[in-house]
Chains A and B, each alone.
Chain A
Amino acid sequence: MISINNVHKSYVTGHNSLHVLKGIDLDIEQGEFVSIMGSSGSGKSTLLNILGILDNYDEGSYYLNGSLVKDMSEKKAAQLRNELVGFVFQSFNLISFKNAMENVALPLYYQGVPRKKRNKIAMEYLEKVGLLEWATHLPSEMSGGQKQRVAIARSLISQPKIILADEPTGALDTSTSYEVMEILKEINKDGITIILVTHEHDIAAMTQKIVHLKDGGIDQIIMNGDLKQFKSQYAKQLETA
């Protein structure tokens, strides 16, 4: 599904060049539920943006669903995003002047689906995340958890193969975080690959595979079974930090 080989990425600001990703190799199969962890500045968000074709990379190769993603035109990238990838962001990124239903329906608008049809589909997805009666509310009238559920519904409506979530629970309290994670697990059960970036290890613990980044490289990949060991190691790291 996703295959990344020796990907490098640096940000150039003025005369300074910041080498963020220093050769990442990663394979993710269809239907996996993966979390990316790491301290801030370790490159986890950059990696996610490259995975979502929101950002370019400098070296290496990235195969998404079998096709090479490199130096793509904006138009092509937009189409691929629309077809294959759904995004969930920490700050929800809903459009403030559209109600829940319209927000959910937006990706279908860009696919050219007629209004009535896409609104009907949007209602189905809102029902899936348990927000049917909130369909006509604006984002400003909803709680953080509800907003994130709307964002998840929006990411699902184009029936993507992958959901990319950038700290989806970062702005939520623990119980709402767990609710959101439950929804993500449900989605994963339907066979959709989910990759999320988080720095909360209890959130990461709910995934099948944890990719731990450190200084722009992959420090270790922990499978679900080894989690206990990881947890203690992670705690130790936090202590020393």
Chain B
Amino acid sequence: MFDLDLWKEILSALKKNRMRSFMTAFGVFWGIFMLIIMSGAGKALENGVMDGIRAFASNSAFFWTERTSVPYKGFQRGRRWIYSNTDIEYIKANVSDIEYLSPRLFGPNANSGDNTIRGKKTGSFNIYGDYPEFFKIDPWTPLQGRLINEIDIMHSRKVVNIGERVVEVMFDEGEDPIGQYLKINGVYFQVVGVIKGETRVNIGGGRKPETIIMPFTTMQKTYNFGDDVHFFSVTSKPGVPVSSLETRLKELLKKRHNIAPDDLQAVGSFNIEVEWKKYMGLFNGIQILTWIVGIGTLMAGVIGVSNIMLVIIKERTQEIGIQRAIGATPGKVILHIVAESVFLTVIAGYIGLALGVGILELLNMALEANAGNADDIFFRQPEVSFQMAVGALSVLVISGIFAGLIPARRAVSIKPIDALRDE
């Protein structure tokens, strides 16, 4: 149906009525522009948050202890209790759905004053005792050296992995920390690896670059923790929902420590699966909201186009009358008006689309430039998908047709003779 003459007619009609064409187009331009900007911003928020937790094992759960809240078997409420090595061994032996299990001890933390010394340098860091399994649940990558391994655990070696901030504080610039010694709470440890967290999730508080991790067994022996376990992480085997595993483990732990089955407080736990679903729901919600608001804005634009087209038809009644008097068929008049409307909406929409994408791209560049290695950015890579752009454009074409059709039908319903008399 490509008809060069038709398009020439349309172009000349639009060109001769610049102001009118511009006003018509602006509504649509604004609608699609807002849709793109909002959708991109929503996506950026999602990217920012999800980047921070993507690498985190989404089938993981974490357990700690709180004071009891229900009296049970002669114990008063408010009793303090703690996990022990035997709990961990029992769970390992009896619960089959666990993929990784990693107990943890909390050593001195960054808020309790300087705990690390090297020569004249001192620093305060978060110090944990962990099993190598922990790196499978909340992934860390070694920047230099190696991660803590099974042999370190077995021999309770006095070795540590340190975060980037620790290197900055405790070593001179350009100095190789590997093989050097740090005095932590009075005991010397050898640095075997500099590590960087892949996620921004902090289990147990504190900023990741300020972390020192040593073998669990080393910490237990060195600092006299006996067989205490402060905290442990588990992941469920594939196909097992971690929520059900969490419930089973809680029941089991309550039984082993004489805690009332209806005590909701004593076993503290946290389940990433639930949080993950919450996030997913949140971002789906944001995307849906974006579409609703965006389509709404677009609709307003389209109604604007339709409205302006109606005014135009009124304005052009005489012109249409003349055209029909000299032989334009109703079909031709409708085609003309609809094509004009579609042309306007699509051009305006395309400009809105291009400008929206362009601004998102600029925003992205600005964000990248400012981000550096800061971990706290929750707004990354604003973008719109190709499907979204195509979807928006097809909405535009369809709405352009509708915007033109209503006024066009009206134009044709006026008799040529009435149109000619209209002055």
> Hey, which bits of chain A sit against chain B, CB under 8 A?
49, 52, 54-55, 74-75, 78-79, 81-83, 86-87, 89, 91, 93-98, 102, 106-107, 109-111, 114-115, 154-155, 158
Contact among B13, B326, B328 with A154 in the assembled complex (CB-CB below 8 Å): B326
Complex CA gap A81/B325 in Å reads 7
Cross-chain contact A115 with B329 (CB below 8 angstroms): no
5 tightest Cβ-Cβ pairs between the two chains A and B:
A82-B327, A97-B16, A78-B329, A54-B417, A110-B327
* Complex-state Cα separation, A115 to B8, whole angstroms: 9
Nearest Cβ distance between residue A47 and chain B, in whole angstroms?
12
Contact of A79 among B8, B318, B327, B412 (CB under 8 A): B327
Complexed CA–CA distance, A52 and B329 (Å): 15
How many A-B contacts at CB < 8 Å in the complex? 72
Q: Which of A55, A75, A91, A110 contacts B326 (CB 8 A)?
A: A110
Hey, which chain A residues are within 8 Å of B417, CB to CB? 49, 54-55
Q: Contacts of A111 on B, CB cut-off 8 Å?
A: 327
In the complex, the answer to whether B420 meets A54 with C-beta atoms within 8 Å is: yes
Chain B stretch 370-423: residues in CB contact (< 8 A) with chain A: 412, 415-417, 420, 423
B-chain residues with CB within 8 Å of residue A106 when the two chains form the complex: 323, 326
Contact residue among A91, A96, A110 (Cβ-Cβ distance under 8 Å from B329): A110
* A3 and B332 alpha carbons, distance in the complex (Å): 30
CA distance A151 to B349 in the complex (A): 39
- B319 at the A interface (CB under 8 A): yes
Interface centre among B325, B416, B423, by most chain A C-beta atoms within 10 angstroms, is B325
CB distance from A92 to the nearest CB of B (A): 9
Q: B196: CB under 8 A from chain A? A: no
Contact in complex: B318, A93 (CB < 8 Å): yes
Closest to B320 in A: A95
CA distance A69 to B318 in the complex (A): 24
Tell me the minimal C-beta distance from B189 to chain A in angstroms: 86
Closest to B4 in A: A115
B327 touches A107 (CB 8 A): yes
Q: List 15 A-B contacts (CB under 8 A).
A: A54-B415, A54-B417, A75-B331, A82-B327, A83-B327, A87-B326, A91-B423, A93-B321, A93-B325, A95-B322, A97-B16, A106-B323, A106-B326, A109-B5, A110-B323
Q: Is the CB of B420 within 8 A of A81?
A: no
Pick from B4, B328, B412, B415: contact of A110, CB below 8 A. Answer: B328
Q: Are A97 and B17 in contact (CB under 8 A)?
A: yes
Is A158 touching B415 in the complex (CB atoms < 8 A)?
A: no
Does B150 touch A at the CB level, under 8 Å? Answer: no
Task: Check A74–B329 contact: CB distance below 8 A.
Answer: yes
Interface residue? B330 (CB, 8 A): yes
A154 to B325, CA, bound (A): 11
Q: A55-B417, A115-B8 are in contact. Are A95 and B319 (CB under 8 A)?
A: yes
Residues of A within 8 A of B5 (CB): 109, 114-115
A197 nearest CB across to chain B (Å)? 14
B16 touches A54 (CB 8 A): no
A97 and B412 contact, CB distance less than 8 A? no
Min Cβ gap B74→A in Å is: 97
Bound CA–CA A91/B423 (angstroms): 10
Nearest B residue to A87, CB-CB:
B325
Contact present for A78 and B420 (CB under 8 Å): no
Max chain B C-beta neighbours (<10 A), residue from A93, A102, A155: A93
Chain A contacts of B12 at CB under 8 A?
Answer: 97-98, 102
Residues B329 and A107 in contact, CB atoms below 8 Å apart: no
Shortest beta-carbon distance, A91 to chain B, in Å? 7
Q: Are B416 and A54 in contact (CB under 8 A)?
A: yes
Are the C-beta atoms of B412 and A158 separated by less than 8 Å? Answer: no
Interface string of B325-352 (1 = CB under 8 A from A): 1111111100000000000000000000
The answer to whether A74 touches B412 (Cβ under 8 A) is yes
Set A55, A78, A83, A154: member contacting B324, Cβ < 8 A: A78
Q: How far is the CA of A228 from the CA of B417 in the complex (A)?
A: 35
Q: Which residue of A lies closest to B6 (CB)?
A: A109
